[in-house]
Structure 1
Amino acid sequence: MSITHNHYYLNSTITQQVCIRKPAWYPKQHLVEFPSLVLQLQLIVVYCLTQALHHTLFKHFGLPPLASQLTAGVILSPELYNGKMKVLKRAHESIFPEMSSDVWKGVAMLGFSLSIFIISVKTDFNLIKRTGKKPIVIGLLVLILTTFWNTTVALIYGKLTNLDKDQKQMRELTASASVLALSTFPVIAVLLSDLKLLNSELGRLALSCGIIGEVVGVSNTLVTKSIHHTITLLKQHKKRQVILQVGNRVVGLIAFLLCVIYIVRPWMTKIIKHTPKGRPVKDTYFIFVILLMLVGGIITDINGEFVIVGCFVMGAAVPAGPPLGSAIVNKFDTFILGILQPFLITMSAMRANVLQINFQDKLIRGELLVTLSAFAAKTIICLGCGWHYDMATSDALALAAIVSSKGIVDIGIYNMFIDSQMIGDSTYAYLILVTTVGAIIIPITITYLYHPLRKYAGYENRDIVTINSEAHLRIIACISRPDHVFAFAHLLALSNPSKNSMIVDVLHLIKLAGRAQPIFIAHDLQEGNASENMSYSEDVISAFSSILKRANMESLFTHFYTTVSQPKAMHGDICTLALDNLASLIVLPYHRKLSTLDGSIESEDPALRALNNNILERAPCSVGIFINRGTIKLPTFETSNLTSISVESQSTEKNEFSAAVIFIGGTDDQEAVSYAKRMSLGSKVWVLVIRIVAFGDDSELDLHDFKTLSEIREYKTNNPQFNYSEQVVRDGSQTAKMLRSITEEFDLIIVGRRHKMDCPQTSGLQQWSEVNELGILGDILASPDFPGNKTSILVIQHQKQWTFKGYK
């Protein structure tokens, strides 16, 4: 069976006949529905193969999905199926017939256009105004100097090898040199997100450099394409046509940009203002924005530019973040990132004959030379800038690897170049091969060179035990939901809050939505646009300030911050803030919301739980997880209620709050006692330290445990608010029974997170532990079926010490 396709170029018609083999499994006698069926099969095969490669192989080496998608394309290359196994060859021809190329190219191009639009929506171009001098200098130098150097190397190589006599090959070499010099923001953002480095210092620097390079790079691409088109017409002696076409193109593009700036952008801003806070944008507006994106692509195509230019400009016109930008991203992101992008990348790699690249060809050798020169130029520039700005050599090399990475944007450019005949099949195959090799090598190189935890390494104590009792205790209080405001006000009310004893940094955690780059705001400094920054956490700041005032804690030193980031990378901002502000304790909210009526679980937040685990693993200071079961109006403590505990001495006065510390031994329990001692310095809190002793245990105490117990006994003689008691247990079941008997008597119970594995006091309890980040005792106390629905719990982990080989 044959199908005739007519391709029209200018005024000539080319007729091409291609024979299609109708597969035996296809039941119909015609091919009307065959393209749709083949496209569906291709999508299924690509998705299954890329997911299988990623989850069975590449993911275990820390490689991003891009590597598996490109490798899948190489595996699906037709050259691999031209051997003796005719079954595989026929299967490949049935799923990927030659005539389906027009279909998948159209779908892939649509996916690329939507990807560029979504990427542009996510990008906050105001970052250019807020960024410092350092990323601007590095971003411009990397792009401008690398482009100039690469083009120069290409021209010199063409002159020395007589390649410049072939205008087509020389055009391919210079086009490759320009695209290899690019450092695009979307590619950098995706790579850093996959490596979980978005919130690191190097990640923020690379993002700022990338957005500078993105704006300049897009402008450079437009100019390069226009110059190439103009030179082509001049060589054809069509000077009059040059004037008309270039003039119409410039006027059309300027009119399009003015329309976007003065009509489309204000209209979108008006939509946001008329959308009630917390409510989604109307579907009518949403559909109209998508139509505008398609119209923008048509307009730029009519004016002789790439379709994606109009999509990029329309995406830049959409205000980033909620409600409009985040709504667009939420509706499109999953389909584009999960289906269309992998399909574009895999089919592009399959289209390239990477297995038939001839490295003896002068053009390919030139391509290899400009590839190495581009990487060398970026490395030298990053090393020079790193030396100037006092960066570590390893960090500068990691930055060079990041700005040398290639991804979805570059692959889209390769496809546009080959479709517009700016490059040939061999150059296209080589560029795909370079991208594939880079997708494997660059992530491994970055992981080896850059360690985000390195700045936390050392032996400086950032805990409560070593702080002078008269010094300020600096706490980072993390809030992710409105109810956490009351929870942390509850904890502060129990913690002897005063301007002489405590400084609190309140950090509002917001999940990144509708943006590609994270944001960190110090509200006291009013960085950037003050009104825009305040809008992120206005409700939280006002609510927290109001509660502090109602609780007579307005004299407390309080600073407010906001981080807008992906949950999996948010720990970077929290740890950096704790490190910079010399904090001794990070307090995190519990990932479960517990009912104050019966203690049942109302909701769970898996992302918050993952964040808590990341902080426990990486924090440069002590960490506490607070389980709130109370309110700001706490019950009055009655000493007569303590019937199950033998207390040596206790206050006869009624205290507003009561707290208990469970002490078994270890650094975490020592930290918990130190925090409780600070609480007892105030006149509102009565503290009882309960030491759980194993029956018949005659082993000597650890030196630090012995010192802590000695200080407790001495401290309680001078402070009637502070008391001590011992309870003897045989095993973990008696410990749980003891905890059950006291939970109704206290407003707050403080426990250490970690204890020895062979500890008799907790034996038999490990197998019932469900929430490991709370430790054994914390998990028991926070259990929904455990009594004490009004008792809050604070689980404390002492500071971990980080060390790295070669780092002191």
Structure 2
Amino acid sequence: MANATRVCLTIPPKVQSAGLGPDIFRNESDDDIAAANYKWYNYSLPRLELQITLIFVVTQFFHFFLKRLGLPLLTSQLIAGLTLSHAILHDKSEVMWTEESIQVLGTIATFGYSFFLFLMGVKMDPGMIFTANKRTISIALLSVIAPLICAVPIILLSFDPITEQVPKVQTIFLSSYFAMTSFPVITLLLSELKILNSELGRLALSSAITADVFSLFMLIGGTLLRVWIQSGVNAALNEFMYVMAFFAFVFLVLRPAMLMVIRYIPEGKPMYETCIYVIILIFLVCVFLSRLFNITVIAPYILGLAIPHGPPLGSALVEKFERMINNLFLPVFVTSCGLRLKTLDFGFGDTSMKVKVALAVVCPFVKLIACFLPSYLTKMPIKDALALAFLMSSKGIIDLGLFTALYDLNVCYNKRSLMHWKPYSELPIVSVIHVPDNVNSVINLLEATCPTKENPMIVNVLHLIKLSGQANPIFISHQKKRRTNFTNSYSENLILSFDKFEGNNWGAVSVNAFTAVSPPNLMHDDICTLALDKLASLIILPFHRRWYIDGSIESDEDYIRTLNTRVLEKAPCSIGIFVDRGNMKRPAMPVDSPPDQLPSYKIAMIFLGGSDDREAFTLAKRMAQDTRVVLTIVHLTPENEGSPHHEDWNAMIDNEMLREVKNNGYVSYMEKAVADGPETAIIVHSMVNEFDLIIVGRRYNMESPQTSGLQQWSEFPEMGVLGDILASVDHGGKCSVLVVQQQETVTRSRNRTIDFFS
């Protein structure tokens, strides 16, 4: 007992202080004198608040510099924990981080980590396992099994049965940790890199979820093995019964009950608040019982897996709690892990530490090779295979720099625009749908393009849905007739509407339907990837604002506006943003009806000059090949135009294109000279009630005398000057607008794709 330490505890513990100021009404009793000597920061609540504040300040300080190197917030949180630990501050750390306060902070951190695992389980779609292909399964299994096999010789060769310097159970669990692939870690890393719904990201997610389920069963088996070795067969059997009872309750009682409740929720309606509170109560009880029966790690995750992902239940849980967990509790957990470091002397001379270092080197390297070989042998490009291997081997931050350097996020494309497409050949188009109102709008616009058997088109319809309540994005091709876990009545109605459009234009229109569920900030990747794979020449995007019949605003979605801007920057082909005023609806008639019975369209194209205007002109001219279209070209020229010999190359191309229609009988051509932007605005306003559709070029940031003085008044700068005028609500007209931009980013061909659906 000579080394015993006496510790005095205050019972009950002092949680909240009396404040910073002196208490002038305090009586001078012994208790009050003791309370007066008990400083405010010795109370648990003020100390906890101060610790959390300090954690966030130090974390943000490091992240301010590290984010410029492309490192995630997790790195800054770990460094903040190490900086505030006893290993760095030594005795000074005891001023803030006492043993009692660390226990309180650890409780908060453990709760946050358990809740984080629960939410990641909610967002996970186990159905992806059943759609995995051979490449995915081989990558997943080899990435887990190969490191374990290579770890066994190291453990056996290093173990001394006499001195027992290397505990078998500890080293086995350490090798299992290096072998495991964590689906939440891969998901967060892909989100940090903004490639969650890219081709490589989808393959990584599919492999990670398969490996994670395999690792989960391996972890359960390892836990039972540890209990068997340490406590005997009876204890292991009891542990096994606890685990089986938990699985039975979660998947045979809780999940069917939740599915039954969901059936009574109308589609599109929010989940009952009572159900959410009951699930949180079950989660808290689950965490308590899991600690009681020693299955702490897996219980919250398994419970989350049992909850149906997506709307209405999964998305409601994620929307309510994810921001709080990720921004408050999870940073505390990560930083508290760094705080546990007591010394920088790791004892590398010890045999046990040598074995751990050997496992830390060998297992990740073997895992890297095990992920790379199946990818490379299935004819994946070597850079993509290496990037996938580093990603699957990552524990959150280790291989982030290598992965970012290897994976090219800014792939450029061949030139694909309307001007470069062959006449009288199939025109491939990608049409984006967000809400039900977009369906009729897009169909009406496609009708206006007047497809014929001599002038056909291929329409690739992409239904975009916000990713909500699940971690993995989904991309569904409705042509493959393959069963999926995703059902959405609106997608079914969308398919029926476009099938009818295809039937009304049989032989002139071919429709392919797709559904993509992804985060709003990554939806542009789905659009660009589909346009690239389908060799599209035009992407049609709905405008972010919609109006009622009386002209009042019905909805204004900022995320759609941001999406359109990103597509304009990165699209592999030309883009058209369609502003629908509801005036283009025509009765559906067969394509072989007599010409005099077909509905007509009055379309105008305003031409100022430049690549975007030439692209818009090409689309308008293609429309005019059909007798149903009455096309008018309005060419606005500056009053003080220079002499012809001062024309640049763009002006020469413009004049050559216009020469085709100046004396053409099926197109009306008007040329008007304008002095400045206000005069152009007057002409544009005068046209809105005369036409069904006006087509303009975007001409973003292009200066010209015809638009001078208008840019500073733009409400929608991404639409260009003329597009902004026509999209604004103050002109009082009901003319629909199509703003066209020619493809911008062109440097080299992308000659490879990863087919992870095969």
Provide TM-score, normalisation by structure 2: 0.87
Report the counterpart of residue 294 of structure 1 in structure 2: 284
Deviations 1:622-681 (A, max 9, x none): 11111122344379xxxxxxxxxxxxxxxx999732111122222211111111011112
Q: Which of the residues 309, 313, 331 maps onto 2:320?
A: 331
Report the counterpart of residue 558 of structure 2 in structure 1: 606
Report the counterpart of residue 45 of structure 1 in structure 2: 54
Report the counterpart of residue 189 of structure 1 in structure 2: 187
Verify the 8 A CA contact 1:672 1:750 in the aligned structure 2: yes
Counterpart Cα distance in 2 of 1:225 and 1:670: 68
SS at match of 2:71: coil
Q: Which of the residues 217, 220, 223 maps onto 1:222?
A: 220
Q: How does 1:349-360 map to 2 (within 5 A)?
A: 349-353=338-342, 355-360=344-349
Verify the 8 A CA contact 2:115 2:325 in the aligned structure 1: yes
Report the counterpart of residue 512 of structure 2 in structure 1: 559
Verify the 8 A CA contact 1:523 1:534 in the aligned structure 2: no
Q: Are residues 1:615 and 2:613 paired?
A: no
| Change beyond 3 A, Cα 1:296–1:19 | closer
Q: Are residues 1:524 and 2:479 paired?
A: yes
Q: Which runs of 5+ in 1 are unaligned?
A: 1-13, 84-88, 234-241, 408-438, 636-651
Report the counterpart of residue 367 of structure 2 in structure 1: 378
Distance apart, 1:155 and its partner CA: 3.8
Counterpart Cα distance in 2 of 1:375 and 1:529: 34
More divergent stretch after superposition (484-493 vs 167-176)? 167-176
Report the counterpart of residue 778 of structure 1 in structure 2: 723
Q: How does 1:98-113 map to 2 (within 5 A)?
A: 98-113=99-114
Deviations 1:576-618 (A, max 9, x none): 11111121111111223345534x6554322222221221222
SS at match of 1:451: coil
Report the counterpart of residue 641 of structure 1 in structure 2: none
Q: Are residues 1:569 and 2:558 paired?
A: no
SS at match of 1:562: strand
Verify the 8 A CA contact 2:428 2:536 in the aligned structure 1: yes
SS at match of 1:406: coil
Verify the 8 A CA contact 1:626 1:792 in the aligned structure 2: yes
Deviations 1:139-194 (A, max 9, x none): 110111022223433443x25xx699344656544432221222111100010011
Q: Are residues 1:714 and 2:651 paired?
A: no
Q: How does 1:50-449 map to 2 (within 5 A)?
A: 50-54=59-63, 56-82=64-90, 89=92, 93-156=94-157, 158-159=158-159, 165-167=163-165, 171-233=169-231, 242-303=232-293, 305-353=294-342, 355-407=344-396, 439=397, 442-449=399-406
| Change beyond 3 A, Cα 1:475–1:274 | same
| Change beyond 3 A, Cα 1:660–1:356 | farther
SS at match of 1:693: strand
Q: Which runs of 5+ in 2 are unaligned?
A: 23-34, 588-595, 753-758
Distance apart, 1:70 and its partner CA: 1.1
Counterpart Cα distance in 2 of 1:807 and 1:134: 21
Distance apart, 1:94 and its partner CA: 4.8
Verify the 8 A CA contact 2:583 2:735 in the aligned structure 1: no
Report the counterpart of residue 591 of structure 2 in structure 1: none
Verify the 8 A CA contact 1:497 1:553 in the aligned structure 2: no
Counterpart Cα distance in 1 of 2:441 and 2:580: 5
Deviations 1:665-715 (A, max 9, x none): 222111111110111122322111122222222255555654554444435
Q: Are residues 1:506 and 2:514 paired?
A: no
Provide TM-score, normalisation by structure 1: 0.82
| Change beyond 3 A, Cα 1:553–1:654 | closer
Report the counterpart of residue 25 of structure 2 in structure 1: none
Counterpart Cα distance in 2 of 1:18 and 1:171: 37
Verify the 8 A CA contact 2:456 2:507 in the aligned structure 1: no
Q: How does 1:9-20 map to 2 (within 5 A)?
A: 17=7
More divergent stretch after superposition (323-332 vs 221-230)? 221-230
Report the counterpart of residue 416 of structure 2 in structure 1: 462
Deviations 1:499-525 (A, max 9, x none): 652221111110000100000111222
| Change beyond 3 A, Cα 1:756–1:265 | closer
Counterpart Cα distance in 2 of 1:198 and 1:621: 22
Q: Percent identity?
A: 37
Deviations 1:432-462 (A, max 9, x none): xxxxxxx2x52222221101433x43x3x32
The one-letter amino acid of 2:360's match is T
SS at match of 1:469: coil
SS at match of 1:727: strand
Report the counterpart of residue 473 of structure 1 in structure 2: 427
| Change beyond 3 A, Cα 1:677–1:178 | same
Report the counterpart of residue 646 of structure 1 in structure 2: none
Counterpart Cα distance in 2 of 1:755 and 1:692: 17
C-alpha RMSD of matched pairs (Å): 3.3
Verify the 8 A CA contact 1:486 1:631 in the aligned structure 2: no
Counterpart Cα distance in 2 of 1:95 and 1:482: 57
The one-letter amino acid of 1:276's match is P
Counterpart Cα distance in 2 of 1:155 and 1:769: 73
SS at match of 2:267: coil
| Change beyond 3 A, Cα 1:770–1:697 | farther
Deviations 1:547-584 (A, max 9, x none): 788x8789732222110000111122111111111211
Verify the 8 A CA contact 2:384 2:406 in the aligned structure 1: yes
| Change beyond 3 A, Cα 1:633–1:395 | closer
Verify the 8 A CA contact 1:666 1:755 in the aligned structure 2: no
| Change beyond 3 A, Cα 1:737–1:217 | same
The one-letter amino acid of 1:519's match is I
| Change beyond 3 A, Cα 1:749–1:42 | same
SS at match of 2:729: coil
More divergent stretch after superposition (28-37 vs 381-390)? 28-37
Distance apart, 1:489 and its partner CA: 2.4
Counterpart Cα distance in 2 of 1:741 and 1:614: 32
The one-letter amino acid of 2:367's match is K
SS at match of 1:744: coil
Deviations 1:90-112 (A, max 9, x none): xx545432211221211211111
SS at match of 1:126: helix
| Change beyond 3 A, Cα 1:782–1:249 | same
SS at match of 2:255: helix
Report the counterpart of residue 413 of structure 1 in structure 2: none
Report the counterpart of residue 534 of structure 2 in structure 1: 581
Report the counterpart of residue 470 of structure 2 in structure 1: 515
Verify the 8 A CA contact 2:570 2:745 in the aligned structure 1: no
The one-letter amino acid of 2:432's match is C
Counterpart Cα distance in 2 of 1:219 and 1:755: 56
Counterpart Cα distance in 2 of 1:804 and 1:97: 60
Report the counterpart of residue 632 of structure 2 in structure 1: 688
| Change beyond 3 A, Cα 1:555–1:669 | closer
More divergent stretch after superposition (322-331 vs 687-696)? 687-696
The one-letter amino acid of 2:579's match is I
Verify the 8 A CA contact 2:87 2:343 in the aligned structure 1: no
Distance apart, 1:213 and its partner CA: 1.2
